[in-house]
Amino acid sequence: MPATTYAVSGMSCGHCKATLTKAIGELDGVSGVDVDLDTGHVTVTTATEPDDALIAETVDEAGYKLTGRA
């Protein structure tokens, strides 16, 4: 399964981590989400190539900013 790492700004605490893990984890095809607050990276594991636009939209709706692939 492919794992894709994204740079996300605005994350600073455990609540941020939990919010993004839940929001991204609910997307179809996502089997895992790992949020690293220290680096500002979110690694998403999917069954197929991820939909970057959908993930960016989900991150934005949660109140953060996806700035691209890391």
pTM, entire model: 0.95
- What does the pLDDT profile of the chain (70 residues) look like in tens digits? 789 999 999 999 999 999 999 999 999 999 999 999 999 999 999 999 999 999 999 999 999 999 999 9
Burial class (CB in 10 A: 0-12, 13-18, 19+), 42: buried
